[in-house]
Structure 1
Amino acid sequence: MRQESAGRPSEARSRLLGTATRIFYTEGIHSVGIDRIVAEAQVTRATLYRHFSSKEDLVLAYLAEVDQATRAQVDDAVSHGLPAADTVQALSESIAQGIRSPGFRGCAFLNAAAEYSDPDHPVHQAVIVHRQWFLDTVTELLAGVGETPAEPAARHFVMLRDGAMAAGCLFDPDLICETFLRGVDGLLQAHAAPGRVKPI
């Protein structure tokens, strides 16, 4: 990805990335061509290629934007300095809020992985890196909740999240989020040392 010499992205680059992010997420990546992005961003093809060397480069920038937003979501949950279990619950509430938001179309990374199944493709690799970071982060949080090994519980949490995000754009998001949050409560209760989490 090309970097801006002044340290801040140009207006054209921001417009291109914003347009691509919106369309890639709502309609899919392979179905959207460069001409569509250029037209909706109101820039020339030359301008696009001045900022992104290829469509793949633009896709990777889109995923980087989503990655940063997810990291900010986690940072916000952690920033309140709550006990670990409460932090996990706060993160879960934030995930549920996203599922309930207008225009929700599932997990951008799982969607991208479905379109780029080759494990050696840079887009697929970006998905793996993001998901490993998320698993590691949840594992670290859950290590502060209970005395049993945290990674199995973290994998359970990620599976709950993945299921909620897949179902949340197909069925009633309120019902899906209620099920997801109850699942997280049950996970925390099972993982926590006695007395650290109130019974459901």
Structure 2
Amino acid sequence: MSRGTAGGSTSEARARLLGTATRIFYAEGIHSVGVDRIIAEAQVTRATLYRHFTGKEALVLAYLDVADQGIRGQVAAAREGAGTAADEVRVVARSIAEGIRSPGFRGCAFLNAVAEYPDPAHPVHQAVLAHRQWFLETVTDLLARAGREPGDEAGRHLVMLRDGAMAAGCLFDPDLVTETFLAGVEGILRRA
């Protein structure tokens, strides 16, 4: 994924801009937030914004890149130390469940973003598809190694369960949602 910077450098101002945008985009949506608000809350100038990002779209892409890297790190950490491939699937599923139960949970950042950028050719939509493809390939590989064949069918099933849990987690009791999600993952694994 593109970093979305004009100069590529990391600075305190860039970090504040990206942190502010991440917080607001996730909590309130992308289209509802203007760059003037991000600039004001990050306490930077408009020139500083454009020194680090070519525009709002680049800031949105950087926000999604941060979310992507965070999820990749979460999955990698969850997989470390798990015994079998089935255990790795369970640990990844539990990390998803923990996210759904976390304070301020507002669904999947990627599903939220794609709802605001429905054009498949748009760079934001493409960034969402790239993240989702990585996640699908990751869980498909784990499920195939766990003996769940065909792995691609099981992978799609797990991704759909996750998507449903992410949507339901901000609408209903997160504990009940995650309990149902984890039971569904166990069902997929039992078919192995």
TM-score, structure 2 length as denominator? 0.96
Secondary structure of 1:29 counterpart: coil
Matches within 5 A, 1:108-187: 108-146=109-147, 148-187=149-188
Code of the residue aligned with 1:52 in structure 2: it is F
- Structure 2 residue aligned with 1:54: 55
Structure 1 pair 47–139 and aligned structure 2 pair: CA distance change class (3 A) = same
Please tell me the root mean square deviation across aligned C-alpha atoms, in Å: 0.9
Gaps of 5+ in 2: none
Where 2:30 maps in the other structure, the secondary structure is coil
- Who is 2:40 aligned against? 39
| Superposition misfits of 4+ residues, deviation over 3 angstroms | none
Residue of structure 1 equivalent to 2:189: 188
Q: Which amino acid aligns with 2:124?
A: V
Separation of aligned partners in 2, 1:50 and 1:82: 47
> Aligned partners of 1:187 and 1:111: how far apart in 2?
26
Q: In structure 2, what is the Cα distance between the partners aligned to 1:46 and 1:182?
A: 51
**Residues of 2 paired with 1:174 and 1:113: CA distance?**
26
- Cα-to-partner distance string for 1:70-123 (whole Å, 9 max, x where unaligned): 000110122214200000000000000000000000000000000000000000
Q: Is the 8 A contact 1:4 1:10 kept in 2?
A: no
* Partners of 1:13 and 1:48 within 8 A in 2: yes
Q: One-letter code of the match for 2:155?
A: A
The farther-off stretch of 161-170 and 145-154 is: 145-154
- After TM superposition, give the deviation of residue 14 of structure 1 in Å: 0.2
Identity, % of aligned pairs? 70
Question: How many residue pairs align between the two structures?
Answer: 188
For the structure 1 residues 51 and 159, does the alpha-carbon distance in structure 2 shift closer, same or farther, using more than 3 Å as the test?
Answer: same
Larger radius of gyration: 1
Structure 1 unaligned regions, length at least 5: 193-200
Greater mean deviation of Cα atoms: 141-150 or 108-117:
141-150
Q: Does 1:73 align with 2:88?
A: no
TM-score (norm 1): 0.92
Give the 3-state SS of the residue equivalent to 1:119 in structure 2. coil
Q: Deviations along 1:24-52, whole A, 9 cap, x unmatched?
A: 00000000000000000000011000000
Distance in 2 separating the partners of 1:39 and 1:162: 34
Deviates most, 98-107 or 144-153: 144-153
